[in-house]
Structure 1
Amino acid sequence: MKAESLPAPATSAERDWVEGELVRSLMRTQRSTQWLALTLVAIVVGILWDDNYPVLVLSWIALWAAVAFWRLWVIQQYQNEVRTRSTEDQIAFFRRHRLVWPMSALVWGLMTQLYFDRAPLGDQYICWLVLAGLAMFSVNSLSARVRVMRAYLDLLAGTALALMAWRMVVELRLQGPTYHWWVALLLLIFWQVLRHSGQRLHATLRRNFELQYRNMQLIESLTRQTQAALDAVEIKNRFLASAAHDIRQPVHALGLYADWLGSEPELVHELAPKIVDATKAVNQLFDSLFDVARLDSGKVKLNIEAVDVAKLLRNLELQYRPLCEAKGLRFRLHVCPGTVRSDPILLQRIVGNLISNAVKYTPRGGVLVASRSTRAGLRIEIWDTGLGIAPAHQREIFREFYKVPGHAGTEDGFGLGLYIVARLTHILGHPLTFTSRVGSGTVFRLSLQPTDPPAASERAVAVVAQMFPSRDGGG
């Protein structure tokens, strides 16, 4: 026999939402109950007017009207001020005014004084039907808040039984008709049946709202996952389209140079550098694509150790100074001794990409690479006197395949350098900021806060989970 699965435990958010919906469900029915109560009052007064002293009937009407106006005021306040507020506000409002319903039950219970053993049996029968119908209707309308429903039923039945007991024991001294006892017994049984039914109805209503909440959460989760999947497909499509577009030019150039070299081998000294440049461009694109692929697959291997920042920058100087000089740019290096806990390979990749961008987008002037000691620790800065980045594009430059429109030099790039930088700095926990002015240049500042290996690993996993949420759940 297959074991029945237990429902998942409700979260605090679910409980709050369900409580709020129960309040809303109860309040939605209250305006119609006011009209029903007014109709029943008219019926009762019409039946009992000739059976009692008018002053007693009028006193009961006045008492009912006072409670009815109180209840109507509560309903109106809810509709005007609370209905659209948060769940907490609705629950707080209901708690402040919950006594209005038991007070209404007390007034209806006092009606027993007007007819029990004081009106003809036919009139008593009609009044008992009115009271029974009112009790059953209250179970349906108040079951959303089980404590209020119980208080209503208890006060209604308790008041009626107390008045009956006064009449039977004190006034009639147990000498009244036998049917009084049967009526009291039936009222007791009816009272308990209604309490039990109300409890079950409340459980059903609560369960329905819990299922509704979980269905909404499931739909929202599926919607997010579907959108994430569509976004991932779009990213990969753009990835492939942009990669294919960017790789076409250097590969096409390689083909032209090879054909040219085959037909005119004496031009080898002129064509060889061009072939080398085209090959470097292809290799650079594949390096970037492999970096992105490793980031997206979560296969970034972290090797956190003490990194000599001055030595790292001098190694990068050997690589990028020739590029600067080839463009007629000045390359300056200012180092401050110090070490930081980080991944040396990834950190070199970050700084190298920033220097490469600076060289690429600086037509004249120069590039300064510096490490500085601050109160927060070491900081690496990359200054250039290049084109600068307009404010409209400063939030977009870290997106994959984004190229600033109209920037000289973007035709040779792939739009992946700063995307990779942003992802790696986030993983290593090295905050990156920058300032830029169009026509004056840009400065990137990399704060070398010590990398915590467990936290870095979690951030690496989180980066993948953010792009591919479906990997977090079961298959």
Structure 2
Amino acid sequence: MDSFSAIGPSPSAPELSREEWVEMRLTHTFMRYARPALHAALVLVLTMVLVLYRHVDPIPLGLWATAAALVTLARYRVIGIYQQTLVGVSGAPLRAFMARYSWTWPVSAIVWGASMFVYFLKAPVYDQFLCMVVLVGMAGFAVGTFSSSLSCFKGYVNGLGLSVVAVLVYQLVLERGLPSTFNTYAMIALVLIYWAVILVSGQRFHEVQRVNLELQFDNSQLIRSLTETNLAAVEAVQTKNRFIASAAHDLRQPVHALGLYADWLATEPEFVEQIAPKIVRSTKAVNDLFNSLFDLAGLEADPLRVHLQDIDLAGLIQDLEAQYTPFARERNLLLRTRAAPWHVRSDPVLLQRLVGNLLSNALRNTYRGGVLLALRKRRGVPCIEIWDTGVGIAKEHQKAIFQEFYRVPLQGTEEGFGLGLAIVSRLSEVLGHPVGLASRGGRGSVFWVELRQA
């Protein structure tokens, strides 16, 4: 058999069921050892011809040798077809192949058993003994070579056993008569016993191979699962460490500023009008960070319940425009909207949070020009789009920006805490609304949210 350590399920291969994988590996093992068996068969055909050609009728011997060579070549062809087209294939195609070509093994066995018609009670005793040893060896060899495919193994052994018994019965009934010698009856009994032993041995060896392969598959799946779990745990630890480090970094600046402003106010209270707005801004920064952290933690720890409703998208866009227009004016930006009457089914609160985070992100990272909030179709699917004239996002950062605390380095996007798009990613998964992005560094960006239509 194959070394089991070398034939586990390939991680890159398409996922197979346990039964399909085991059948595929058993067939592979069967085909792998079938070719060396054919090499040996050709050598044995030549050997038997050399042993018998001076002692038996050459015509039956020639006919048998020709038949044995032809069926051996047919089996070579079957193995060649398998190796060219079906290595690694499982399921229905593999079963169809075996059903179509498995007949070659019992036919080959019948031809080999029929060799006894050529030499039994015709050749010298020593030559007969040598040829029978060949048949006995082929039956025993089939246990280790052919039992991977139980149908081919049984067909081969039964074909060999039937043909040998047929020769003995023919000699017993037609050639020598029923009152034959004890040796003939004893030989038939021995053949039947050996036949049964070979069938039982092959069945058990097949079961051992199958159990070993099933254990191999289960172990491989367990190792893969443990590896994935370990990687997930390591990634979670790294995310937690990054989360803590980034949160501490983002808290340090406004808290430090609060301390400085408080000391300044304590020593120079007459500057309260100048210091108070700065304290308010620093306090607001701390509060915004905590709010974002709580939002993200809530999405992670407590799965949201989605309440689907019929939503008027034009009304949603108007609400967002009213909410974010003051923020746009503070930044000297123009916030424009474009919407037509359209209805979808979604959760209005969560959808507004999702689009609001995208809109806030666009406004924070745009320094001149404006932002467009629009409704349009993409490939027939209604989408909410947010266009901006901001700094843009290079292609190598476009996946990472949806991670917690990720901010594009050295690109003027230092505002915010790097949590808005992480919240967008979580809400997108919860609602089932895919979020897309197209952007070029320095040329602005467009985000869109694909929506289910009512």
Task: Output the TM-score relative to the length of structure 1.
Answer: 0.82
Q: 1:445 deviation in Å? A: 3.5
Alpha-carbon distance between aligned partners in 2 of 1:434 and 1:266, rounded to the nearest angstrom: 50
Alpha-carbon distance between aligned partners in 2 of 1:339 and 1:268, rounded to the nearest angstrom: 51
1:366–1:385 contact (8 Å) kept in structure 2: yes
Does residue 28 of the first structure (1) align with residue 32 of the second (2)?
yes
1:333–1:369 contact (8 Å) kept in structure 2: yes
**Residue matched to 1:404:** 408
- Matched AA of 2:41: A
**Residue matched to 1:118:** 122
Alpha-carbon distance between aligned partners in 2 of 1:223 and 1:343, rounded to the nearest angstrom: 37
Secondary structure class of the residue paired with 2:121? coil
321-330 or 100-109: which moved more?
Answer: 321-330
Alpha-carbon distance between aligned partners in 1 of 2:298 and 2:372, rounded to the nearest angstrom: 30
1:14–1:213 contact (8 Å) kept in structure 2: yes
- Matched AA of 2:421: L
1:82–1:93 contact (8 Å) kept in structure 2: no
Residues 23, 412 of structure 1: CA spacing in aligned structure 2 closer, same or farther, 3 A cutoff?
A: same
Does residue 329 of the first structure (1) align with residue 329 of the second (2)?
no
**Residue matched to 1:296:** 300
Alpha-carbon distance between aligned partners in 2 of 1:225 and 1:274, rounded to the nearest angstrom: 47
Does residue 254 of the first structure (1) align with residue 258 of the second (2)?
yes
Q: 1:423 deviation in Å? A: 1.9
270-279 or 345-354: which moved more?
Answer: 345-354
**Residue matched to 1:417:** 420
Alpha-carbon distance between aligned partners in 1 of 2:355 and 2:434, rounded to the nearest angstrom: 13
- Matched AA of 1:423: R
1:425–1:432 contact (8 Å) kept in structure 2: yes
Q: 1:440 deviation in Å? A: 4.8
Alpha-carbon distance between aligned partners in 2 of 1:30 and 1:175, rounded to the nearest angstrom: 42
Alpha-carbon distance between aligned partners in 2 of 1:373 and 1:67, rounded to the nearest angstrom: 66
Q: 1:424 deviation in Å? A: 0.7
**Residue matched to 1:13:** 17
Does residue 98 of the first structure (1) align with residue 102 of the second (2)?
yes
1:23–1:91 contact (8 Å) kept in structure 2: no
Alpha-carbon distance between aligned partners in 1 of 2:75 and 2:378, rounded to the nearest angstrom: 67
1:369–1:383 contact (8 Å) kept in structure 2: yes
Alpha-carbon distance between aligned partners in 2 of 1:425 and 1:35, rounded to the nearest angstrom: 62
RMSD: 3.0
Q: 1:312 deviation in Å? A: 4.8
Alpha-carbon distance between aligned partners in 2 of 1:226 and 1:60, rounded to the nearest angstrom: 63
**Residue matched to 2:71:** 67
1:378–1:448 contact (8 Å) kept in structure 2: yes
After superposition, give the CA deviation of every residue in 1:256-309 in whole Å (9 maximum; x if it has no partner): 111111111111111111111111111111111122212222432444445565
After superposition, give the CA deviation of every residue in 1:199-224 in whole Å (9 maximum; x if it has no partner): 22212211211111111111111111
Residues 66, 229 of structure 1: CA spacing in aligned structure 2 closer, same or farther, 3 A cutoff?
A: same
**Residue matched to 2:233:** 229
Alpha-carbon distance between aligned partners in 2 of 1:252 and 1:104, rounded to the nearest angstrom: 89
**Residue matched to 2:350:** 346
374-383 or 339-348: which moved more?
Answer: 374-383
2:45–2:69 contact (8 Å) kept in structure 1: no
Consecutive unaligned residues in structure 1, runs of 5 or more: 1-10, 452-475
Identify the match of residue 189 of structure 1 among 187, 190, 193: 193
Consecutive unaligned residues in structure 2, runs of 5 or more: 1-14
- Matched AA of 1:226: N
**Residue matched to 1:463:** none
Q: 1:156 deviation in Å? A: 1.0
Aligned counterparts, 1:438-453, within 5 A: 438-449=441-452
Q: 1:252 deviation in Å? A: 1.3
Q: 1:21 deviation in Å? A: 0.8
1:110–1:159 contact (8 Å) kept in structure 2: yes
Alpha-carbon distance between aligned partners in 2 of 1:377 and 1:48, rounded to the nearest angstrom: 82
After superposition, give the CA deviation of every residue in 1:31-68 in whole Å (9 maximum; x if it has no partner): 33234334544554454344322333333223222223
Secondary structure class of the residue paired with 2:414? helix
Alpha-carbon distance between aligned partners in 2 of 1:384 and 1:448, rounded to the nearest angstrom: 21
- Matched AA of 1:56: P
After superposition, give the CA deviation of every residue in 1:381-417 in whole Å (9 maximum; x if it has no partner): 4343333334443344323322223322x22222111
Aligned counterparts, 1:264-413, within 5 A: 264-305=268-309, 312-333=316-337, 340-370=344-374, 380-408=384-412, 410-413=413-416
After superposition, give the CA deviation of every residue in 1:428-461 in whole Å (9 maximum; x if it has no partner): 233434444554543434344369xxxxxxxxxx
50-59 or 256-265: which moved more?
Answer: 50-59
Q: 1:144 deviation in Å? A: 0.8
**Residue matched to 2:89:** 86
Secondary structure class of the residue paired with 1:382? strand
Q: Percent identity?
A: 46
**Residue matched to 1:200:** 204
Task: Output the TM-score relative to the length of structure 2.
Answer: 0.86
Count the aligned residue pairs.
439
Aligned counterparts, 1:212-227, within 5 A: 212-227=216-231
Identify the match of residue 167 of structure 1 among 171, 174, 179: 171
Does residue 238 of the first structure (1) align with residue 242 of the second (2)?
yes
1:342–1:450 contact (8 Å) kept in structure 2: no
390-399 or 254-263: which moved more?
Answer: 390-399
Identify the match of residue 429 of structure 2 among 423, 426, 429: 426
Residues 12, 403 of structure 1: CA spacing in aligned structure 2 closer, same or farther, 3 A cutoff?
A: closer
2:312–2:344 contact (8 Å) kept in structure 1: yes
Secondary structure class of the residue paired with 1:51? coil
Secondary structure class of the residue paired with 1:442? strand
Residues 316, 258 of structure 1: CA spacing in aligned structure 2 closer, same or farther, 3 A cutoff?
A: farther
- Matched AA of 1:292: L
Alpha-carbon distance between aligned partners in 2 of 1:186 and 1:331, rounded to the nearest angstrom: 97
**Residue matched to 1:470:** none
- Matched AA of 2:171: R
1:334–1:371 contact (8 Å) kept in structure 2: yes
